[in-house]
A and B are shown apart, each in its own frame.
Chain A
Amino acid sequence: KQEVTQIPAALSVPEGENLVLNCSFTDSAIYNLQWFRQDPGKGLTSLLLIQSSQREQTSGRLNASLDKSSGRSTLYIAASQPGDSATYLCAVSQDNFNKFYFGSGTKLNVKP
């Protein structure tokens, strides 16, 4: 069964810092990987979707990379802002039916 792990569980940084969130998965036979943001008590906001054939995706200050063979993905956030404070979830799907397996998340706090 696919297992997804995210490190660190929590991260606190001052505003303006660049940071990296890590995600690893045990079964490299994935269809795609997606990074989400979850604000307290809220649903999920999709940030970046990487297909299994891709190496990275970028959106604004966010860059996500995928190394399928090693079972790893990173989410890079440049010039962090207090508004980036949230829990970041990594999820992988193993078929095109998009059934996701989620990591436990990294809770990010960006201090003004």
Chain B
Amino acid sequence: GAVVSQHPSRVICKSGTSVKIECRSLDFQATTMFWYRQFPKQSLMLMATSNEGSKATYEQGVEKDKFLINHASLTLSTLTVTSAHPEDSSFYICSGQGYNEQFFGPGTRLTVL
């Protein structure tokens, strides 16, 4: 199947700093990419949908000014957590849509101290 990578796999940062997470589709072009987060012992919750070259669509309750999404090319989307706080600590997973199916990245574990 198609492969989606994420970088970094794990990041620890201090409260108030910004963190950028990259999501790449390695062997297909993803017109649409999705960002999810998963809190401990909970399921994945969709945060936003991003289409290449346009603004992301955020789910209800997700602050668009805090979670900046850029989808500048068909193989790369980035999520920037601005002014991160401990409550933003979570597992962030991206996915890319290709071949009429969604392929998920391995996830990024963010810990905010």
Interface residues of A (CB under 8 A from B): 34, 36, 41-44, 46, 49, 89, 91, 93, 96-105
Mind listing 18 A-B residue pairs with CB under 8 Å?
A34-B102, A43-B105, A43-B106, A43-B107, A44-B104, A46-B1, A46-B101, A46-B104, A49-B101, A89-B44, A96-B100, A97-B49, A98-B101, A102-B36, A102-B45, A104-B42, A104-B43, A105-B43
**A89–B43 contact, CB under 8 A?**
yes
**B interface SS class:** strand
Bound complex: CA A96 to CA B102 (Å): 10
Interface residues of B (CB under 8 A from A): 1, 6, 32, 34, 36, 42-46, 49, 91, 93, 97, 100-107, 109
Q: Which of B46, B49, B91, B102 has the most CB atoms of chain A within a 10 A radius of its CB? A: B102
Bound complex: CA A43 to CA B101 (Å): 16
Contacts of A43 in B (CB 8 A): 6, 93, 104-107
Task: With CB as the reference atom, state the residue of chain A lying closest to B60.
Answer: A1
